């Protein structure tokens, strides 16, 4: 069985590239773009709403 190659847009740089299961960085076009995207998460560029009860839990963390 042969899966036809298809073009997808890299979520990081927006470049069109061929989606391949051989690409360990998919759906990103490259390892670099994958790392860039992970870096965005680390920098909280994507705002993630924190449930109020979860925020309160952080007060109970040992210092
Ligand atoms: Zn890319």
Hey, is 52 helix, strand or coil? helix
The pLDDT value given to residue 51 = 72
How close is the Cα of 25 to the center of ligand 1, in Å?
10
pLDDT in tens, the chain (63 residues): 566 678 999 999 999 999 999 999 999 999 999 999 988 877 765 566 677 776 566 666 677
CB 34 within 8 A of CB 13: no
**Domain extents in the chain:** 1-45
How close is the Cα of 21 to the center of ligand 1, in Å?
16
How close is the Cα of 17 to the center of ligand 1, in Å?
8
The pLDDT value given to residue 16 = 96
How close is the Cα of 48 to the center of ligand 1, in Å?
23
CB 27 within 8 A of CB 21: no
- H/E segment holding residue 34: helix 31-42
Hey, is 45 helix, strand or coil? coil
The pLDDT value given to residue 45 = 57
CATH architecture of 1-45: 2-Layer Sandwich (3.30)
The pLDDT value given to residue 6 = 87
How close is the Cα of 26 to the center of ligand 1, in Å?
10
């Amino acid at each position: 069985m042969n899966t036809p190659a298809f073009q997808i847009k890299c979520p990081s740089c927006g470049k069109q590239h061929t989606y391949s299961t051989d690409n360990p960085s998919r759906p990103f076009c490259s390892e670099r773009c994958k790392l860039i995207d992970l870096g965005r998460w680390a920098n909280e560029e994507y705002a993630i709403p924190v449930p109020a009860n979860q925020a309160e839990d952080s007060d109970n963390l040992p210092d």
